[in-house]
Structures are given as structure tokens and as C-alpha cells.
Homo-oligomer: A and B are copies of this chain.
């Protein structure tokens, strides 16, 4: 959606403006979530507090869920960095099976730590986006190291990501229910059974 060819000088300025606006909106949105809670953050409220037009906020985020998606995206970048170049076992340097176990634990912790953002960023008009999960890349790579025979078709990695993220995302969507179990307990059990799953598959 960036302009492809415009007179020199002006486009670069506009792109810099857009980047500044984005960073500013993200900062203001983060403050608003901390101060008011995600429930109280609206497109209009964000525009007003950021001193920007509603059109700018709308173009940037599309929907209210888009605001939280952008905030989660910033956190996601830090998470990806820990996997790509942080210390082992999450980062490179440990055996693939240990990295897979660490990855699941860190991913579940990440989603539980950012419960509010993760829930608010789930657009209930959309299916749970497992196929687009950035986890698929890492799981496929690590599984390819640990069990190249079983990883070849790609569907085993897809199934493992669904196993890792499906239950927690559904839990987050449903956790408004009065009977929903405690997130800490759910996380603890999911991490333990993820370890069983991964160790079984990698040793199989």
C-alpha cells in the first residue's frame, strides 16, 4: 500500500511521517492499555489521545482488534529474536528436542503473559489463525533436525503447532466464562503435556 513512484523528496518524508505516526500510536495505545485496560481502548479514544485523525488510526489498524494485534506484534518481535539469537535452549546451541520443549514452554508463557493483548487481538469474526502462526517456521525447522523422516510432508509440524497453540487460544477466547479454569494451572498442564508430546515424537 506504499506509493510506488512519486516525485523525489516528498515520498521519503511521508514514509518517515507514517513510521513516526505508527510508533507514536503504538506508544499511546500501550499506555492506554496499562492505564485503562484493553476494554476501554477504542479507535476514537486512541485518535484523540494521540492527537491524530480518526482516518489515520483507521488506515493504520483497520479494526479495534487491529490495535491489539499491532501491540502483540511488537512483543512478538522480541520473542522471535529470543528464538533466533537468544541463549539456549530456546536459542540456537541446544539439541533440537530440547529447543522444541523450550519453544513450547516459552510460547505458552508468552501467550499467557500477554493474555489481555492476545484475547483482544483475536477478531471473533475470524478463525483462529494457526496456519499463519510464526511458530510454524520454528517448529518445522527444529522437527526437521530431530526427525527428518517424519517432518518431510510438513503436516506433522502443522499438527504440533495446532496442539501447542489451539488449546491456549481457545482457552483465551473462552476465559470470560465464569467456570473457566485458572490460566496458571492451564498453562502448567499444557507445558507438561507439550513436553511429553515433543519428547515422544522426537524419540519415536
Q: Which of B155, B190, B192, B199 contacts A204 (CB 8 A)?
A: B199
- Residue A173 CB within 8 A of the other chain: yes
A78-122 residues at the B interface, CB under 8 angstroms: 122
Residues from chain B with a CB closer than 8 A to the CB of A122 are 127
Q: Shortest distance in angstroms between A202's beta carbon and chain B's nearest beta carbon?
A: 8
**Interface size of A by Cβ–Cβ distance < 8 Å?**
38
CB proximity to B under 8 Å, residues A104-150:
122, 124-128, 130-131, 150
Give the residues in chain B near A155, CB-CB below 8 Å.
Answer: 167, 186, 189-190, 192-193
Q: Which residues from B are CB-within-8-Å of A126?
A: 124
Which positions in A face B, CB cutoff 8 Å?
122, 124-128, 130-131, 150, 153-156, 158-160, 162-164, 166-167, 169-170, 173-174, 186, 189-190, 192-194, 196-197, 199-201, 203-204
